[in-house]
Structure 1
Amino acid sequence: MALQTYLLESGLFADHEIESHMENSRLYAGKKNLGLGYEIGRVEYTAIFNIEPCTQPPSVLLALIASWLIEFDNERFKQGLAEPSFDIDALSHTTADIEIEVQFSETIQMVEQNNGPISHLGKTYACETVPIEVFSQVAVGHDTGQAVDLPVTT
């Protein structure tokens, strides 16, 4: 999980101190053409992070999580996702076991790829972020000298 990687890359936690898993997962299938590929569905889940033992002040851990969510999951509010919740079990003045639950909603996108692992309607695809197509020109009107998507009718 990207959030777990972010926490480990902070250098404040050892690999053996952080464990994560997914619960209450749901897959919503639905195809949406994105031009150069498809959104084929959405997965919603609760990520559970256990930090045992946590020797950092809980405020540092929570600030790291808040920072990551603001930078990498800024659609949370629009998606109506619950705010993260957490439980702290103090082991001493300087250590605690902390469990954090974060809800996520992610799209599953795929692009056509020769010999891709996903077969769909006679073509093969790979799970990748669909690139955004940027147009440099747009033609509107009846000027037959301009390129258009549809034949010009007069």
Structure 2
Amino acid sequence: MTEVAYSKTKLEHLTGYIISHLNTNVLNNKIDAWQENGKLIISGEDRGNDGILICYWRYRAVIRIEEFPHQLLNPYNLFALIACWLSDFDSERDEEEDMDDPDLSVDVLSHAIADVSVELDLMEPVEMIPDPLGMISYRGKTYRVQSVPVDTAEEAELVNETAD
């Protein structure tokens, strides 16, 4: 059996990004994230190297932070982190259809704490590569789910020819 490194979803990456950048123990066991209202957008695009982008997985991502200490930690820090992550790690969302800006909800529980909910649409490619031991049959071949390797040129030669 071929071992494949697990790649984090955008939601897992965003959640980890928030936790690591807030750098505080107040979020321990108080942050949860999940996907809902998923939809498959079928593609079948040839990605080269015999790989196929079979579909996109589009979903509503929800991140919920309980008892966020809004008096000790300005919530704008959280808002800025989300905006920066989207700009750095999901910049193609502007080119995709109906990828609205995140929705935020703040439920103030007391002078010191509030429950914060962030909801946003995310979309991820689902790619496959040939594998004789793979579990997916498609158009007469067997595949496994994995990102398609991208070939990158290591050298290039530029030629500048002048007309006589």
Q: Does 1:23 align with 2:55?
A: no
Counterpart residue number, 1:88:
106
Q: Assess, with a 3 A threshold, how the Cα gap between structure 1 residues 82 and 131 changes in structure 2: closer, same or farther.
A: same
Counterpart residue number, 2:63:
49
Q: Say which SS state the counterpart of residue 104 (structure 1) adopts.
A: strand
Q: Which amino acid is the alignment partner of residue 37 of structure 2?
A: N
Identify which range, 103-112 or 121-130, moves more after superposition.
Answer: 121-130
Counterpart residue number, 1:97:
115
Counterpart residue number, 2:8:
none
Give distance in 2, aligned partners of 1:50 and 1:90: 14
Give distance in 1, aligned partners of 2:28 and 2:44: 38
Give distance in 1, aligned partners of 2:125 and 2:116: 29
**Aligned pair count?**
138
Counterpart residue number, 1:116:
134
Q: Which amino acid is the alignment partner of residue 41 of structure 2?
A: Y
Deviations 1:60-107 (A, max 9, x none): 111111111111100011113100010101122332100110111221
Counterpart residue number, 2:15:
4
Q: Does 1:68 align with 2:81?
A: no
TM-score, length-scaled by structure 2:
0.75
Counterpart residue number, 2:47:
34
Aligned-pair CA distance for 1:24: 1.8
Residues 85 and 100 in structure 1, CA contact (< 8 A), matched pair in contact too: yes
Gaps of 5+ in 2: 1-11, 158-164
Aligned-pair CA distance for 1:122: 3.4
Residues 35 and 133 in structure 1, CA contact (< 8 A), matched pair in contact too: no
CA RMSD in angstroms, aligned pairs only: 2.0
Gaps of 5+ in 1: 139-154
Give distance in 1, aligned partners of 2:127 and 2:31: 29
Deviations 1:90-129 (A, max 9, x none): 1223321001101112211111234123232333322222
Give distance in 1, aligned partners of 2:156 and 2:16: 41
